[in-house]
C-alpha cells in the first residue's frame, strides 16, 4: 500500500525519522552483541 505509506510520511515525517533511527539503533545493538559473542 504505497499510497498509505506516502500519506503517513507526509503527515508524520518525524515519526518516519524516528523509525529510521530505531532501525539504526537496533542494527548497532545487533553488531555489538555479535562482537561480544565472538
Average pLDDT on 7-35 reads: 78
What is the grid cell recorded at 15? 515519526
- Sequence-distant (≥ 6) Cβ neighbours of residue 16 within 8 angstroms: 8, 9
User: For 6-38, b where at least 16 C-beta lie within 10 A, e where not — what string?
Assistant: eeeeeeeeeeeeeeeeeeeeeeeeeeeeeeeee
Q: With bands split at pLDDT 50, 70 and 90, how would you rate the model's confidence at 5? A: low
Higher pLDDT, 2 or 6: 6
Query: Percentage of the chain with pLDDT > 70?
Result: 68
CA atoms lying within 13 Å on the CB side of residue 10: 6
The answer to pTM > 0.75 is: no
User: Total structural domains in the chain?
Assistant: 1
What CA–CA distance (Å, rounded) separates 29 from 32? Answer: 5
Residue positions counted in the chain: 38
- Identify the domain containing residue 12 by its residue range: 2-37
Amino acid at each position: 500500500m504505497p499510497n498509505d505509506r506516502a500519506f503517513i510520511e507526509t503527515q508524520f515525517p518525524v515519526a518516519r525519522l524516528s523509525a529510521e533511527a530505531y532501525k539504526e539503533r537496533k542494527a548497532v545493538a545487533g553488531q555489538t552483541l555479535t562482537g561480544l559473542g565472538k
